[in-house]
Chains A and B, each alone.
Chain A
Amino acid sequence: MDELDLLATARPATPPTAETTAAARDRLFDLMNAERPAEAVPRRRNRLLGWGLVPALAAAVALLLVLTVSWGGPGGPGARGDVDLAAAGPRPPQQLRNLLLAAADRTSGDGPAGGRYWVSRVESGTLLQVGGAGNRYAIMGRTEETSWHPVRRDDRAVYLQRWAGGAPAGDADRAAWRRAGSPSSWPIDESCPATSGRYTAGAGATRTVVGKPEASTFAIGGGYLTAAQVRDLPADPVRLQAWLIDSLRRGNPNLTAAELSKGVFDSMINLLYQAPGTSAVRAAAYRLLAELPGLRDLGTVTDPKGRAGTAVTLVTNEETPGVRQADSGGPQEVRLIFDPKSGRPLAWETRVLRPADYLAWVPAGALFDYEAVLETRWTDDPPPSTTGALPEEVREPATC
């Protein structure tokens, strides 16, 4: 070894921590924001008008792609490289990328999958069509669910579900509701109002549902992963995307770039909002989103629980000439809302842009459904008593 080789390996430095990187980026962003020309602010408002206020949104969390065939955990073979997601649309604008990269640096996750249960408390809302013939209108029905997801195979999942109330969705719905005599509840099925249950304006009782003994799994990519497998997903966004594409194509080898892009986007929803996330996995999800074609920035919004956050959005299920979409309800805008300061996922929402077919009754652009994450944590505490709980596999009795 000569002196230059010795010098090259002398006094090594450790890579910057996430905090150091975030602090340096903040200083740069403050400077960039200070220099952004004033006209850029209205430009962003225009973007909001052209996009978000024509609202959109739609349904959907269910993966549109029905995929789930053979499945291997993370660690299976790498992705085939012959589909380029970049073909699915333009790269996200830099301002949006910066927000997501900053969130990636700051997100903390739920900690390691150390506890016996991962507990999540989530409020979800969905638009429901109610009212008699000639005066149909929409209410937003809300439910709150606290879930104990077991890690061990011999523990059972426990879900506490509660109807959190319903209310006319928009101004037109409120007018129709008044015409109907301002009812405080609505039959679930108008064709047999006497025997079907009712949606109530107020909250309902909590019911407990218990699962079979098995470790909970979470839909990611084309299959389902346990909490431990989620934790072991690649922390590098390029590798994570390659892994997801491989997983999605195992279920359906013929997916187009746009379909894969949607599949990857859905996986990010599930990873951020519906699965236990370590800081590394959440950071990878935000960094992956920063590269996802077609993603748009809505700026600061308020989530369904009134919390301020940053929203990014993707239009999915768009009509393509000659192609029959799996979901005939029309194009949907999906919003992901997160706290830019902490990287904490807050809520995701859908709006139907041009409602069609089975969603034709939905007001175009109105909030169609959402999920707001209220709390997530790991615990070794036992779940609440399941005496008298409903088994998961039992369906509600048919009413009519």
Chain B
Amino acid sequence: MGGQTISEDDVAVLLRSRADPDCFAELFERYFAGLHGYASRRLDGAGGDDVAAETFLIAFRQRDRFDPARGSVRAWLYGIATNLIRSRRREEARGYLAYARAAAHPPDDPMHEERTTDRVAAAAARTRIVAALAGLPARDRDALLLVVWGELSHEETAAALGVPVGTVGSRLHRARRKIRAALDDVDPTRPTERTARHG
């Protein structure tokens, strides 16, 4: 809210908050809704609420350790949230599978038959992708979801995870092959010509 009138950049706000802790609230206003969205897609319900709230508590406590040379404030916040989610990775995987099960058996409704074949197919494909997320190694899943759901660039994702950009690229590549395989129902170890694209 009110973001249009704010001109001071994130780093300046964060640096100021070291002497004047109240300033930190500005970062909450800027990023809570977005972080909550990212966390809630990975951990629905109370889990997403907790992660989003705890991210700011951890960030506030660690604000003296933030290093602007190593990435943006946004990437740093998403990295904290991602670490919190990783500590709940079983809960996360269970959530994807439960979501896929529920989506595979939608309640009967008259609208259902009116849907176009394409839309039904796309919905089914999304369900399979969500189920496939449960089977990804945590590090690959983190990279994939920071890019696609967190809408971070590859560079920001690298900063959030504390790895080189090239590593993000290879993790994304592996993750894509696996979810592609879930769609095609083929052997995920088969090489693919698709190249990683900028997320």
A contact residues vs B (CB 8 Å cutoff): 1-4, 6-16, 20-21, 23-25, 27-29, 31-32, 35-36, 86, 93-95, 97-98, 101, 104, 236-238, 287, 290-291
Does the CB pair B28–A28 fall under 8 Å? yes
The yes or no answer to B33 lying at the interface (CB within 8 A) is yes
Name A8's closest neighbour in chain B (CB-CB): B148
Q: Kindly state the separation between the CA atoms of A291 and B7 in the bound complex, as whole angstroms.
A: 12
Asked if B53 and A13 sit within 8 Å, CB to CB, the answer is no
Interface pair A7/B129, CB less than 8 Å apart: yes
Once A and B bind, how many residue pairs between them come within 8 Å at the CB atom? 122
Closest chain A residue to B50, Cβ basis:
A24
Cβ of B126 and Cβ of A10 under 8 Å apart?
yes
Q: Do the beta carbons of A20 and B49 come within 8 Å of each other?
A: yes
Contact A237 B25 (CB under 8 A): no
Task: Decide if A4 touches B60 in the complex (CB within 8 Å).
Answer: no
A31 to chain B, nearest CB (A): 6
Verify A97–B25 contact, CB threshold 8 A: yes
B32 proximal to A (CB < 8 A): yes
Tell whether, in the assembled complex, residue B2 and residue A28 are in contact, meaning their CB atoms are under 8 Å apart. no
Residues on A with C-beta less than 8 A from B28 are 24-25, 28
B182–chain A nearest beta-carbon distance, Å = 8
Q: List 6 A-B contacts (CB under 8 A).
A: A10-B130, A11-B99, A27-B53, A31-B57, A86-B5, A101-B1
Asked if residues B148 and A4 are in contact (CB atoms below 8 Å), the reply is yes
- Residues of B contacting A: mostly: helix
Q: Is the beta-carbon distance between A237 and B2 smaller than 8 angstroms? A: yes
Pick from B20, B29, B179: contact of A7, CB under 8 Å: B179
Contact between chains at B5 and A238 (CB < 8 Å): yes
A6: which B residues are within 8 A, CB to CB?
122, 125-126, 129, 183
A15 with B33: in contact, given A238-B2, A287-B2 (CB under 8 Å)?
yes
Contacts A3-B179, A94-B22, A101-B25 known; A28 to B52 CB distance under 8 Å?
no
B130 contacts which chain A residues (CB < 8 A)? 10-11
B120 contacts across to A, CB distance below 8 A: none
Instruction: Give me 6 other A-B pairs in contact (C-beta within 8 A), A8-B148, A13-B40, A36-B22 excluded.
Output: A4-B197, A10-B130, A21-B33, A24-B49, A27-B53, A31-B61
Chain B residues with CB under 8 Å of A3's CB are 125, 129, 176, 179-180, 183
**In the assembled complex, which residues on chain B have CB atoms less than 8 Å from the CB atom of A35?**
21, 60
Residue B2 contacts which of A1, A21, A290 (CB distance < 8 angstroms)? A290
Please pick, from B2, B32, B148, the residue contacting A24 in the complex, using a CB distance under 8 A.
B32
Per CB-CB distance, the 6 closest pairs between chain A and chain B, nearest first, are A13-B40, A24-B53, A10-B126, A94-B22, A16-B36, A95-B22
Among candidates A1, A16, A101, residue contacting B49 with C-beta atoms closer than 8 Å: A16
CB of B83 to closest CB in A, whole Å: 18
With a cutoff of 8 Å between Cβ atoms, the chain B residues found around residue A16 in the complex are 32-33, 36, 40, 49, 52
Tell whether B76 is near chain A: CB-to-CB under 8 Å: no
Q: Write the nearest CB–CB distance from B137 to chain A, whole angstroms.
A: 16
For the complex formed, measure the closest distance between the CB of A152 and the CB atoms of chain B, giving whole angstroms.
34
Tell me which of B53, B127, B183 has the highest count of chain A C-beta atoms within 10 A of its own C-beta. B53
Assess the A13–B48 pair: CB atoms within 8 A: yes
In the assembled complex, the Cα of A169 lies from the Cα of B181 at a distance in Å of 81
